[in-house]
Amino acid sequence: MSILSTGAGELLAQLNRGEITSVELTQACLNQISQNDMNVGAFLHIDQDYALEQAKAVDNKRAAGESVGPLAGIPVAVKDVVCHKGQPCTCGSKYLKDFIPPYSATSIEKLQAADAVLLGRTNMDEFAMGSSTENSAFQKTHNPWKQDYAPGGSSGGSAAAVGSRMAPLAVGSDTGGSIRQPASFCGVVGMKPTYGRVSRYGLVAFASSLDQIGPFGTDVTGTAALLQALSGHDPLDSTSINKPTPDLLADLNQPLEGLKIGVVKEFQADGIDEDVISATDEAINVYRSLGAEIKDVSLPHARYGVATYYIIAPAEASSNLSRYDGIHYGHRAEEFKDLTDMYRQTREEGFGPEVKRRIMMGTYTLSAGYIDAYYVKALKVRRLIRNDYDDAFQEVDFIASPACPTPAFKIGELINDPLAMYLSDMFTLGANLAGIPGISIPAGMSSEGLPIGLQLLGPPLEEARLLRAARMFEQATDWHQKVPELVAQ
Ligand code: GLN
C-alpha cells in the first residue's frame, strides 16, 4: 500500500514507531497536491516551505528523543475560515481576499501544540454558506471521484483534500452539515462535535448558535485523534464547554455491547436517491449483524428543520456580517460619494450572490414587523426539535440515517435553485439546531461510482461512544479503504 492510501490512524502509528518520517509524509502530500490539485482545486493557499519546515522540526524533535505531541508529524489541511496568524484567511470571499489575521484561532494553537504539520488552506463556500463549494469567490473544487461533480460544501476543499489523499486529516466547520455532507460526497469520515466541544475563538462567524469546528479524516482513528487535539475548554469562547474532554482513543477499538440504533420514521421521505436508500439499509444490516438492536424512532418536528435552519442561520449571519463595513478591515470600495455609499459599494463589491441572499433573508426575518412571525417562531420550533432528539435518545443510543438524500450532484446542477441546494442539508442540520454530535462515515457507492455516507447522531457530549460505533462499522466494512483513481495504489 502506498503512503497515501494508508489510513490516517495507521500513518500516526507509523510516525510514532519511526517507520516513516514527517518529511516523507508531508512531501508525499505535497507531491499529490502538485500532481492533482490543478484538477481538484481543494487548496486556496499552500506554503510548501512552511509545511516542510514544520515537518523537519517534528522529525528533529523525535530524533533528539524529545517528547512530541499526539499529532506529531501528520499533515492537516485547514478550511480557510479558521484564523492562522500570518496566513491568508479569505473565507472564500472577495471581501477578505487580502486579509491576514493578526492572531491564531485556538484550534490552530492546539494543532501546533499537538505537533501537527499545517499543510495549507482549503477552499470553501463564501463565509461557509452553501453545500457545493461553488460559492467560493476564487475557484471551483471538484469531487475527487468524478471531476464534473461537486465535492459538497461548505467545507468542500477540506473534504476533497482528504478524499484525494492530499492530506490524511483536515479541519472544517459545520453550521448545518458543512463537514458531514462533503465528507459523504467525497468518501471520507467527517464529524461535527457537540456544540461547545471545540473552541470557536478565531473561527470566522457565520451563525454563532450553530457553528462548530470539527475534523475530517481518511479513517475513524485519525478523525478521533484530530478531534481529541482540537477539543477542550477555552476561556476565550464563552460557548465552550467547561468539562474535561474524554479520552476518545482509549476504547476506540472496543465494540459497544447492547447497542440500540434508531431509524427515523420521518426520514423515510420521498425524493431520496435509491442507491442512498439501499446503502443505508445495508449499513444498518451491518450493525444488526454486529449485535445491535434496530428500533424505529420518531422525530415529529424534523420536517420543519430546513425551514427553521434557514430562518435562524441567515438571521445570525446578517448580524455577524454587519462587521464587514469597509472600515475595520477587508475590502473597501475605491469610489463612493459619502459614508453610506461607501458601505453600500463595499458590500455590493465584496459579497457574492448567496451571501447577499442570506443577509437579505436574515435582515427581513429580524425586522420589527416580522421578527415574531419568523425568528422567534423558529427559535420555538428549534426547542421542539431538540426535545425530539432528547426523547429519541431515551430509547436508542444513536440515530442512523443517510448523511445526504443523494450522492454528489454535478457542478452547476443546483446552483441556480437555492431551495434544492438547501434540501441537501435535510438530514444534517437537525444536529446543529439541537447542538448534538454527528458523524458521517463511508458506507457505500452509487451505481455511478460516487461515495455514499452514513450519518450517526448521538446525545450531547457522547463523541467517544459515537466514534466507537463508527469504528465498529469501519472494522466490519472496507468502504473507507476505497480511493479515487487519482490516488496511486
Ligand atoms: N449548507 C448549509 C448552508 O448553506 C450549511 C453550511 C454550513 O454548515 N456551514 O447554510
- State yes or no: pLDDT of 361 exceeds 70: yes
What is the number of structural domains in the chain? Answer: 1
Query: What pLDDT is recorded for position 43?
Result: 98
- State yes or no: pLDDT of 145 exceeds 90: yes
Residue 129 CA: nearest ligand 1 atom is: 4
Q: Where would I find the beta strands (DSSP E) of 70-223?
A: 75-79, 117-122, 169-174, 189-192, 212-217
246 located within any domain? yes
367 located within any domain? no
Residue 85: active-site member: no
Query: What pLDDT is recorded for position 270?
Result: 75
Residue 130 CA: nearest ligand 1 atom is: 4
pLDDT of 262-280, one tens digit each?
Answer: 999 998 877 899 999 999 9
Q: Band of the pLDDT at 423, cuts 50, 70, 90?
A: confident
Residue 424: active-site member: no
Q: What are 418's three cell numbers?
A: 437555492
422 located within any domain? no
Residue range 81-95: average pLDDT? 98
372 located within any domain? no
pLDDT of 287-316, one tens digit each?
Answer: 999 999 999 999 999 999 999 999 999 999
- 184, 192, 159, 156: which is closest to 279 by C-alpha? 184
- State yes or no: pLDDT of 104 exceeds 90: yes
Q: Residue 261: CB partners within 8 Å, gap ≥ 6?
A: 284, 287, 292, 293, 294, 295, 396, 397, 398, 399, 400, 456, 469
pLDDT of 160-178, one tens digit each?
Answer: 999 999 999 999 999 999 9
Query: Could you tell me if 124 and 132 are in contact, meaning their C-beta atoms sit under 8 angstroms apart?
Result: no
Query: What pLDDT is recorded for position 458?
Result: 98
- State yes or no: pLDDT of 365 exceeds 70: yes
Mutate which of 355, 429, 440 to test ligand 1's pocket (most atoms within 8 Å of Cβ)?
A: 429
Rounded to whole angstroms, what are the CA distances from 30 to 25, 77, 121, 289, 334?
9, 11, 13, 41, 38
DSSP string, 228-259: HHHBS--TT-TTS--SPPP-SSTTTTSPPSS-
Query: Cα 291 vs. chain centroid, distance in angstroms?
Result: 30
CA atoms within 13 A on the CB side of 443: 34
Answer left, alpha or beta for residue 468, where phi above 0 means left and psi between -120 and 50 means alpha. alpha
Distance CA 1, CA 159 (A): 22
- For residue 178 and ligand 1, the question of a CB distance below 6 A is answered with yes
- For residue 150 and ligand 1, the question of a CB distance below 6 A is answered with no
Burial of 464-477, coded b for 16+ CB within 10 Å and e otherwise, reads bbbbbbbbbbbeeb
pLDDT of 313-358, one tens digit each?
Answer: 999 999 999 999 999 999 999 999 999 999 999 999 999 999 999 9
Rounded to whole angstroms, what are the CA distances from 75 to 22, 152, 165, 406?
8, 22, 11, 30
Residue range 212-230: average pLDDT? 98
CATH code, 105: 3.90.1300.10
Residue 154: active-site member: yes
Query: Could you tell me if 48 and 30 are in contact, meaning their C-beta atoms sit under 8 angstroms apart?
Result: yes
Among residues of the chain, what percentage have pLDDT more than 70?
A: 100
pTM of the model: 0.98
Q: Distance from the CA of 127 to the center of ligand 1, in angstroms?
A: 9
306 located within any domain? no
Domain hosting 189: range is 3-258+460-481
Q: What are 307's three cell numbers?
A: 425551514
225 located within any domain? yes
Residue 425 CA: nearest ligand 1 atom is: 1
- For residue 354 and ligand 1, the question of a CB distance below 6 A is answered with no
468 located within any domain? yes
Query: Does an H or E element contain 101, and which?
Result: none
Catalytic option among 104, 132, 178, 231: 178
Alpha carbon nearest to ligand 1 atom 5, residue: 176
Sole residue written with cell 459599494 = 345
Angle at which helices 463-476 and 220-230 pack, to 10 degrees? 160
Query: What pLDDT is recorded for position 489?
Result: 67
30 located within any domain? yes
